[in-house]
Amino acid sequence: MTILVNDQPREIASGLTVEELVRDLGLAGRKGIAIAINDEVVPRASWTTRRLASGERVLVIRATQGG
């Protein structure tokens, strides 16, 4: 099935969780990551249970340091 990740189409397995997507994106274990699905922030505590559906829009936000 297809979802949009930061406005880019991405093919994923049916039933993939947010946590599995984060791992597939190479971001597992990193701090400063936030996920929004269809313009709604998904709490980190829900990543293991929130399953993605075809056509959903996922926004991955990464905090950075700088001055």
Cβ atoms within 10 Å of 59's Cβ, excluding its own:
17
Fold of domain 2-62:
Ubiquitin-like (UB roll) (3.10.20)
How confident is the prediction along the chain (67 residues), in pLDDT tens digits per residue? Answer: 999 999 999 999 999 999 999 999 999 989 999 999 999 999 999 999 999 999 999 999 998 877 6
Query: CB of 61 within 8 A of CB of 42?
Result: no
40 vs 56: CA distance, rounded Å: 11
Q: Which residues pair with 62 in a beta bridge?
A: 33
Q: What is the pLDDT of residue 67?
A: 60
Q: Is the pTM higher than 0.95?
A: no
